[in-house]
Copies of this chain bind each other. A is one copy, B any other.
């Protein structure tokens, strides 16, 4: 079977490497030999051993009937969307690691694939090499999933882990992450939570069977987290993690990306460094967690190639995937019930009564720093908690972090 790879960056070159390295076992599992016929890239790779395979025109690939699977590793919505749709319309299966493309056009591309007896597969778009899309599609099918929560971004998890274990500031660790190549020079997509937001949108859509629009997900990054917050978390037996989450509650469906304090015995609390993990809660199976490297050339490429193998095993057969265009009506996040960990400037003398007036009962925490008043609120809708914080008026809020008890 002939394969075309779109984009020869980190993931694209990884796909070629995985196909070469494990050629023999892959052939056995796919039931036939998989061969890269084309690599699409605008750059020249004259020194590459595959230099004969490079093309610059997508039409060469689209018009070649021998090509049955296209692995898209361009990233971004365009031209990926146009190329992918073009391939599907020709009956070529497409596999991709492109979370932005999937979050934006997933249901449409799945429909196009179905109408053309081919497949649109995207295991690599969330959690790198961790199998999570496939288990949602074909393993946890006996369950109604009422929550899916994950550490979905390796860069921010690396930063939070270092802040915690080495007592360093966000800015300081970010710099190291950039030097190590874990963070981009412009780190916004990671540290502001946008990357995790696309990924939880994909997972939530699959769990619910309908489209969760990433633009409607309440998203907050980790730039406001201070190293002192980490010390408090540790002393309370908690960890601070950037969690993407979608929950079905009695009040409706909520989705968010935000730094969250979780108890140390929470399955996600010990997921450290660049690792990712996804926790799925089903009404029958209970808690199930998937853990592994959420990024990186070979782990991501491994997932792309597993999808290529699946495409080879399902020629002319559409693998069912429930993700309709119908949009999920998310509840406004302000209504979601939450517990806040709050640090205020001042001390008991200046603050205790004011806090009590505003919040009623709270759990006071012994401050680790001078001139701080620290407490944990009761559980209440976020809107209500924010109003209460506003009622403190002139008392400066040093930090507030969402807490899962």
Contact = CB atoms under 8 A, between A and B. Distances in A.
Copies of this chain present in the complex amount to 2
Contacts of A285: 129, 292-293, 298-299, 302-303
Interface residues of A, number: 54
Interface string A43-73: 0000000000000000000000000000000
A175 interface: no
B140 A22 contact: no
Interface in A6-33: 18, 21-22, 25-26, 28-31
A138 B311 CA distance: 11
A159 interface: no
A323 B233 CA distance: 47
B302 A282 contact: yes
A299 B270 contact: no
B142 A322 contact: no
Contacts of A141: 26, 29-30, 305-306, 309-310
B292 A288 contact: yes
A272 interface: yes
Contacts of A29: 141, 320, 322
Interface string A266-300: 01001010000000001111111111110010110
A267 B291 contact: yes
A34 to B, nearest CB: 10
Given A131-B140, A270-B270, A302-B142, A290 B287 contact: no
Interface of A: 18, 21-22, 25-26, 28-31, 123, 129-131, 134-135, 138-144, 209, 265, 267, 270, 272, 282-293, 296, 298-299, 301-306, 308-310, 313, 320, 322
